[in-house]
Amino acid sequence: MKNTNSLPLQILEILRHYPDQEHLISMPELQAILEADGFPSNRRTVYRAIETLREYNYDIRYEFHKFYSGYYLVPYFDEAEHFIISDYLNQQTTLSSEEISTIQTKLQHLASPYHNLKRTQGIHVSNQEILSNIKLILYAIKHSYQISFYYFDYTISKEKKYRKNKKRYILTPYAVTSYEGKYYCVLYSEKYQSFTNYRIDKMETVRCIDQPVETIAFNLEEHLQTSIKMYAGKAETITIKCATDMASIILDEFGNQMIISEVKDEYFTLSLKTAITPTLLSWLLLFYDRVTVIQPAKLKEKLLTIANTVIDTY
């Protein structure tokens, strides 16, 4: 039989695997695990150990349900807080991957083992409402629930202008990601059968619809490849010819998701799959004298239309 002085620490280690109302451990289950580990399973001793942990500010709660009840330990970081800190760590360029992994492991010890976080880009939280929305959205994703919300833009006078005449959107969330300090929710529309990115700071009165829906296969990394600066669209094959000194810029913008088909002293040709979005057009126009679009034809037509509009304007 092991020393009872270490019983509170042993119970704490067990409770780390039971972090919310959906993951409870009953007193008989807790006693059985302790007994298997060589600790006394006297109910009164266990109660006393739990009270000792509570005195040291560990938030241990007991939940009653219709068919079962038990204890759980509220994690130090909730899912939204864990998501934000983990996201920030993943963006650090001054730390090695090994150092980030070590910190992430320590962070995981202070959060729920059931938090399923994905690597994202960028980081910034502006207010408590965004944090609450992220928490609710992550909960909806976990349970395959839809969410409803109002979506707005700002006018020149900095007033809110609601889309759809302030009718609520009802969509299915699949992921939370971020870009350039803004958080986005990737949502699926049954009506249009497509994914779209919505800025979370422009989503108002987010509500969860507690009714599971059938979901479809989704890969966040693949989706982001078709989202230029978070403008999503149908992925198309685009071929461009770039000046040789554009190599570093191209890699920063599109990563390794491209095929280089020709390399010359003064230029190289590459193909990639991405969406034709306003930000892609802006990027191509920014490097108008160093990047030439070869295909598709409709992308060239869009650029010509913009060029002619500029000529007509000036």
pLDDT of 161 higher than 50: yes
User: What pLDDT shows up at residue 73?
Assistant: 85
User: What pLDDT shows up at residue 126?
Assistant: 46
- Which has the higher per-residue pLDDT, 164 or 80? 164
Indicate whether 87 and 195 sit together in one domain. Answer: yes
pLDDT of 113 higher than 70: no
Which of 73, 97, 125 corresponds to the end of one domain?
A: 73
**Among candidate residues 13, 97, 92, 98, the one with its CA nearest the CA of residue 53:** 13
Residues 248-292: pLDDT tens digits? 788 767 766 678 888 888 888 988 888 888 878 888 988 889 999
Other beta carbons within 10 angstroms of residue 285's beta carbon come to: 13
Which of 225, 246, 268 corresponds to the end of one domain?
A: 225
What does pLDDT average to over the chain? Answer: 82
Which of 184, 209, 225 corresponds to the end of one domain?
A: 225
Average pLDDT over residues 185-210: 91
- Which has the higher per-residue pLDDT, 109 or 9? 9
User: What pLDDT shows up at residue 112?
Assistant: 67
* 87-91, 110-114, 197-201, 250-254: the lowest-pLDDT one: 110-114
**Among candidate residues 264, 263, 299, the one with its CA nearest the CA of residue 282:** 299
Q: Which residues pair with 259 in a beta bridge?
A: 271
Report the domain count for the chain: 3
Is residue 174 very low, low, confident or very high in pLDDT (cuts 50, 70, 90)?
A: very high
User: What pLDDT shows up at residue 119?
Assistant: 43
Q: Express as a percent the part of the chain with pLDDT over 70.
A: 86
CATH number, domain with residue 289: 3.30.70
Average pLDDT over residues 85-92: 72
Q: What is the DSSP letter of 211?
A: S
CATH number, domain with residue 44: 1.10.10
Indicate whether 48 and 110 sit together in one domain. Answer: no
Angle at 222 between CA 219 and CA 225, to 5 degrees: 150
Residues 298-312: pLDDT tens digits? 999 999 999 999 898
Residues 16-45: pLDDT tens digits? 887 677 778 888 888 888 888 888 778 888
Indicate whether 244 and 120 sit together in one domain. Answer: no
Q: E strands, the chain, where?
A: 60-64, 69-73, 146-154, 160-162, 169-179, 182-189, 194-199, 203-209, 227-228, 231-232, 235-243, 258-263, 267-275, 291-295
Indicate whether 46 and 96 sit together in one domain. Answer: no
Q: Using an 8 Å Cβ cutoff, are 49 and 8 in contact?
A: yes
Residues 120-151: pLDDT tens digits? 444 344 456 787 888 899 889 989 999 999 99
- Provide the domain limits for residue 272: 227-313
